[in-house]
Homo-oligomer: A and B are copies of this chain.
Amino acid sequence: MAVHIMTLLAYLGEKATSEVLAETVNTNPVVIRRLLGELAHAGLVRTERGKSGGFSLARTAKTISLLDIYRAVMSDTELVPLHENPENHKCPVSCKVRGALSAHLDRAQGIYERELQKVMLADIEKNM
């Protein structure tokens, strides 16, 4: 949804209100304001309050990557989370498996994120 909204802001090229944005996603303006709050916090979106306020991109679509958006809105930092049950200290596997696994998952996620970093919002927008 974040990419949808960001693409729309790029496409429009001007300020838009949460109400207008909500319509194109078929959701509620508050949902949009919450989402854009995270994007604004990450410096991707500019917010203007009050009459004739609204949201706009804080940077050009060429300089915003899918990774920027992903990081701004994904609360879970892990693509594939580890289970969180407590360790059984009698079991060596229980004690070590998380570390061994996360090393590989983190490396794979790094590669995934580098792919997202290569794709700019402008690449998405030009298909609209």
Report A's interface with B, CB cutoff 8 A: 1, 3-4, 7-8, 11, 23-27, 66, 70, 79-80, 83, 85-88, 90-94, 96-101, 104, 107-109, 111-112, 115-116, 119, 123-124, 127-128
Contacts and interface: CB of A to CB of B under 8 A. Distances in A.
Given A93-B128, A101-B124, A112 B79 contact: yes
Contact of A96 (B66, B104, B128): B128
A111 B90 CA distance: 37
Secondary structure type dominating chain A contacts: helix
Tallying the copies of this chain within the complex gives 2
Contacts of A26: 85-88
Given A24-B93, A26-B85, 5 more contacts: A1-B83, A23-B88, A25-B83, A66-B101, A101-B124
Given A79-B79, A88-B26, A96 B127 contact: yes
Please give me the 7 A-B residue pairs with the lowest Cβ-Cβ distance, nearest first: A108-B115, A1-B83, A24-B91, A100-B127, A112-B112, A26-B85, A8-B93
